[in-house]
Amino acid sequence: MLAELTHACPLRCPYCSNPTELAARSSELSTAEWERILGEAAALGVVHAHLSGGEPLLRRDLARIVAAADREGVYTQLVTSGVGLTERRLGELAAAGLRSVQLSVQAATQGESDGIAGVRAFARKERAAAVVTASGLPLGLNVVLHRANLDAVGEIIELGLAWGVERIELANTQFYGWGLLNRAALLPTREQLARAEAIVQKYREKTDVELIWVIPDYFDGVPKPCMGGWGAISITVAPDGRVLPCPAAYDLPLDVPNARDRSLRWIWEHSPAFNAYRGTAWMPEPCASCPRKELDFGGCRCQAYALTGDAARTDPACGLSPDHHLIKGLAGGGAWTFREAAPPVRGA
């Protein structure tokens, strides 16, 4: 389960995975609502919760949310920018049962990282990493890769090794929401990707640190098996209680259920949104007769919708899609648009 506790964030990364329409702070779920939702999640079979945002540390009740998850036997990982992660705050969270921390960085150096984040945060990230490793909790690094930082992937890995992380997730930008808005500025060249992948491979041979390479589906002609299938293994709860099969699905034309109105079990089992693209019966050709349909599940519904206006089409990232021309041969370059740091005030 991905729990987006708030969409507010001190960072303004132009590929932010939050929706372009951020949930207002005044609409956020209360502590008691999160406690109830985590209980429902555990009963449904959720064993893993990524406490994410925005910046989850902006929720002053974060330790109570962690404690609620822990009581239900749900394993929690904090997904953070590091801003606000002091020794005292981490101590509180660890005491409440937090198991693991995933820290984002934007690039390998202060200047580049802050340039992408749109705010000075690198020094605070470095301190946050030190606080986590000193606490003994496992630390993972998460870096979104794109045109402006792919060439420094070796330096990024070195940074992670120097900070004492156990895992580095090198996630090539996925193009929906903010990422799609900034696609031209973020889109790497095929050569950049090939060089970066070779460097990652080289590091895999010389370090124990786990290096996860999230594939850039625009280039391979093979769609990603998005979320392991729609409504198959993952559930996202938004700051305002909306529940989605995937954090990129905010914009799909779905009747989005809300945990304020319905139980997670009903939402998972019966809501039209979770059943819309479940299984393989919804698939059009070429997916319906494709031998890979149980492997990649037709690719990403959000990408199909963003690029074709129809979420039920084959993902255009697939080389067999009739819409593949939409992404083939796209050239990158240009300036980017930062996301807003704070969600708008409701009614404004």
Partner 1 sequence: MTRPPTGEAESPAGGVAWQPALARSALLRRDPVRQADLLIVPERIVVLNEEAAAIVALCDGERTVAGIVAGVLARFPGGTEADVVEFLDRIRAEGWLR
Contact set with partner 1 (CB under 8 A): 43-45, 47-48, 73, 75, 77, 99-100, 102, 133, 136-138, 140, 164-167, 169, 208-210, 212
Write down the least CB distance from residue 251 to partner 1, Å. Answer: 26
Q: Kindly tell me which of 228 and 272 has the beta carbon lying closer to partner 1.
A: 228
Q: Kindly tell me which of 94 and 199 has the beta carbon lying closer to partner 1.
A: 94
Q: Judging by beta carbons within 10 Å of its beta carbon (0-12, 13-18, 19+), is residue 258 exposed, middle or buried?
A: middle
- Which residues, 6+ apart, have CB-to-CB distance to 150 below 8 Å? 188, 192, 193, 195, 196
Q: Kindly tell me which of 25 and 99 has the beta carbon lying closer to partner 1.
A: 99
Q: Kindly tell me which of 208 and 255 has the beta carbon lying closer to partner 1.
A: 208
Q: Kindly tell me which of 23 and 66 has the beta carbon lying closer to partner 1.
A: 66
**How many Cα atoms are found within 13 Å in the side-chain-facing hemisphere of 189?**
5
Q: Kindly tell me which of 75 and 219 has the beta carbon lying closer to partner 1.
A: 75
Write down the least CB distance from residue 75 to partner 1, Å. Answer: 4
Write down the least CB distance from residue 235 to partner 1, Å. Answer: 14
Cα distance between residue 76 and residue 174, in whole Å:
24
Q: Hey, what are 130's tokens?
A: 């030190």
Write down the least CB distance from residue 210 to partner 1, Å. Answer: 8
Mapped onto helix, strand or coil, the DSSP state of residue 201 is helix
Cα distance between residue 255 and residue 258, in whole Å:
10
Write down the least CB distance from residue 162 to partner 1, Å. Answer: 11
Q: Kindly tell me which of 162 and 194 has the beta carbon lying closer to partner 1.
A: 162
Dihedral, CA atoms, 333, 334, 335, 337, nearest 10 degrees? -70
Write down the least CB distance from residue 165 to partner 1, Å. Answer: 7
Write down the least CB distance from residue 13 to partner 1, Å. Answer: 21
CA quadruple 281, 283, 288, 291: dihedral sign? negative
- Of 79, 37, 87, nearest to 58 (Cα)? 79
User: Cβ distance 214 to 15 under 8 Å?
Assistant: no
Write down the least CB distance from residue 72 to partner 1, Å. Answer: 11
Q: Could you tell me where the DSSP H helices lie in the chain? A: 31-44, 62-71, 87-96, 110-117, 122-135, 153-163, 178-181, 183-186, 190-206, 217-220, 264-270, 272-275, 293-296, 301-308
Q: Kindly tell me which of 210 and 310 has the beta carbon lying closer to partner 1.
A: 210
